[in-house]
Amino acid sequence: MGRGAQPSASLLLFSLGLVLLCFTAGGIVGVAAAQKTWCIAKPSASNEILAQNLDYACSQVSCAVIQKGGPCYYPDSLVSRAAVAMNLYYAYSGRHPWNCYFNSSALVVQSDPSYGSCTYY
């Protein structure tokens, strides 16, 4: 554009469309916000804290999947069962970061921790 030239109407409409795309639910912002996350136990958390987390989470949601014979029973470890239970609570509560705090003994991750027949929701 030369000095003093006005942008064309089509350029203005195109620019407006890009701006609207970025701020709508289906746009770039919506895609970033839609990234699924999971809550897992920190492997470094103490057994005492993990047991407390497991008890709390299972008092709020059904933990049938980690019971003997359930798809998430194995590996037979406290950290594994606590991670499944904590994630169930996190998912049930709306996947808010504060629902994965567990006294700083948990992490929000973006990689699906599901394994074998154990599906993290």
Identify whether 101 is part of a domain. Answer: yes
Tokens of 17: 């469309």
At residue 8, the pLDDT reads 57
Q: How many domains does the chain have?
A: 1
At residue 38, the pLDDT reads 98
What separation in angstroms does the CA of 97 have from each of 6, 15, 71, 90, 94?
A: 47, 34, 26, 8, 9
Tokens of 48: 């005492």
Identify whether 31 is part of a domain. Answer: no
At residue 2, the pLDDT reads 55
| Residues in the chain, pLDDT under 70 | 1-34
Domain range enclosing 91: 36-109
At residue 59, the pLDDT reads 98
Tokens of 87: 């994630």
Identify whether 64 is part of a domain. Answer: yes
CB neighbour list of residue 18: distance below 8 Å, 6 or more residues apart: none
Identify whether 12 is part of a domain. Answer: no
